[in-house]
A and B are shown apart, each in its own frame.
Chain A
């Protein structure tokens, strides 16, 4: 069924997408996005580094860019199909899109912004919907102000309200929370969750922030260089990544090139030397050849710090080092510790104060064998 007009959407249809989009001519400068995925009603996170093609995918679904080939359906409604020559223009797709820049109309008041997408409704219905959404997003008292006269978090809520008030059949969110502080972020995430429970539509949420993934995702897709390289439940995708590129994306802050030094088959471990240093790591025993290069990922939050030489531990890796830098970010301290190689370690402010830790402190890092993830190199 092709789409006509802006009829009321009540269905809870899934998004089915197949997109091939080429940029530039053939050659080293050309780039191609080729993806195929389904997004059921609920939040699907599109996760990937910048330049992976996330915004291109959203643009194609919204109709702002035209794929070279493919098809985009919501339920039985066809928004784009290169085989059938269907390309519904963006103003008839009934897709909600929250831009990273929000794209609020600067010359209109908050209320005018919110009412902009409702021109096809009767005056009475429009008033009702605008009133509702202004209240539920706690922006009713800002109705007469311009976007330039309100705070960042308020603008975010206005943009979200302007999108949702049109009751889209599909919602696209392009890194909507990047610029916000943690508290504001949490409240908007809560707004979105509440809304998602009421109107079950597919929501594609682009981010490269792990904390947003865990707060929101029901399903996630990991995108790299224009392709989907992993998909599934967030805990499955992010916790035991098979591919190194996923691990990098998923926030393994420490990634080292290693070579096998000695196998301890009886202990279930192997000693590996971090390239360019004398540091030996005890890793879970895996089947590798002696000369095969390895990569090892260790999360910064999985590393313990001691200010005395620790004893009586099960952990096999105790490495002496010196803190070379210590900086606070939000409610977390990031320490860099040089032990022959530099490790990034995440600590709570309480831990930093009580030990105490300062730049130049002599410390011992404690790393469990099973906190080390051995990745296939290359």
Chain B
């Protein structure tokens, strides 16, 4: 039971953090460098999941992904089953819920790269693409790593969104945090305790690794200034 929930949770966290990496790199680049005046609107929307109760987010997602919505109907027509109460639905919900945890550290890291280095890169003939891969990304690696690990860890521990969208189906949508809730409801404290301990240890190890890595990867950039 625990192993099954744990495997599902890890699979979910992996899928979500990799998807978020793909989404966040271009989004963070745009947020860091765009000169569009309405950028603050996008920043507000991206940050929304931090303050919104997960149940609110989960509720809207449930509606948006359900058979009453165009997205839900389209998906139903395409695959023959709905999005709600499936692993895919969980992934979509979690991606949206963890978006700010991934995007914000990356945006901050990109924006703090010295603009003169970007100018120097352009003058030396590099395209924006090359400047991104050769200058921006290596110099903001700690921020990108932070975004990746935080979105992973955040997905591990999420509860409200998962419960709203995924329900509690062992093997399909029952994550570790749902299992704990389930066991406590059933007054099955010893299983709840073990599961909680596993999750606690996992998150602690992850964050410890993150901060240790960050320390090693921190260039002392302008030590000559």
A interface residues, Cβ below 8 angstroms from B: 6, 62-64, 89-97, 99, 101, 103, 105-107, 116-117, 119-120, 147-148, 152, 155, 162-163, 166
Q: How far is the CA of A45 from the CA of B122 in the complex (A)?
A: 24
B125 touches A103 (CB 8 A): no
The one of B123, B126, B138 that contacts A95, using a Cβ cutoff of 8 Å: B123
Contacts known (A107-B138, A107-B139); A97 close to B224, Cβ less than 8 A: no
Q: How far is the CA of A63 from the CA of B119 in the complex (A)?
A: 9
Most buried by A among B120, B127, B130, B134: B120
Residues of A within 8 A of B126 (CB): 91, 116-117, 119
B2 at the interface (CB under 8 A from A): no
Contacts known (A99-B120, A148-B224); A107 close to B125, Cβ less than 8 A: no
B116 touches A117 (CB 8 A): no
Q: How far is the CA of A93 from the CA of B122 in the complex (A)?
A: 10
A162 touches B123 (CB 8 A): no
What are 26 A-B pairs with beta-carbon distances under 8 A? A6-B125, A63-B122, A63-B123, A90-B123, A91-B122, A91-B123, A94-B125, A95-B123, A97-B123, A99-B116, A101-B116, A103-B114, A103-B117, A103-B119, A105-B121, A105-B134, A106-B219, A106-B221, A106-B222, A107-B219, A107-B221, A117-B125, A119-B125, A155-B224, A162-B124, A166-B124
Residues of B within 8 A of A64 (CB): 119, 122-123
Residues of A within 8 A of B123 (CB): 62-64, 90-91, 93, 95-97
B116 touches A91 (CB 8 A): no
Q: How far is the CA of A94 from the CA of B219 in the complex (A)?
A: 30
Residues of A within 8 A of B119 (CB): 62, 64, 90, 97, 99, 103
B135 at the interface (CB under 8 A from A): yes
Residues of B within 8 A of A105 (CB): 117, 120-121, 134-135
Q: How far is the CA of A166 from the CA of B121 in the complex (A)?
A: 12
Residues of B within 8 A of A163 (CB): 124
Q: How far is the CA of A117 from the CA of B126 in the complex (A)?
A: 7
Residues of A within 8 A of B134 (CB): 105, 116
Residues of A within 8 A of B120 (CB): 97, 99, 103, 105
Residues of A within 8 A of B220 (CB): 148
Measured CB to CB, the closest approach of chain B to A112, in angstroms, equals 9
Measured CB to CB, the closest approach of chain A to B11, in angstroms, equals 34
Q: How far is the CA of A92 from the CA of B120 in the complex (A)?
A: 13
Measured CB to CB, the closest approach of chain B to A121, in angstroms, equals 10
Residues of A within 8 A of B135 (CB): 105
Residues of A within 8 A of B138 (CB): 107
Residues of B within 8 A of A94 (CB): 125
The one of A89, A96, A148 that contacts B223, using a Cβ cutoff of 8 Å: A148
Q: How far is the CA of A375 from the CA of B219 in the complex (A)?
A: 54
Q: How far is the CA of A97 from the CA of B121 in the complex (A)?
A: 10
Q: How far is the CA of A103 from the CA of B123 in the complex (A)?
A: 11
Residues of B within 8 A of A155 (CB): 224
Contacting residues of chain B (86-144) with chain A, CB-CB under 8 angstroms:
114, 116-117, 119-127, 130, 134-135, 138-139
A116 touches B124 (CB 8 A): yes
Q: How far is the CA of A110 from the CA of B1 in the complex (A)?
A: 56
The one of A93, A95, A103, A120 that contacts B116, using a Cβ cutoff of 8 Å: A103
Most buried by B among A93, A103, A162, A163: A103
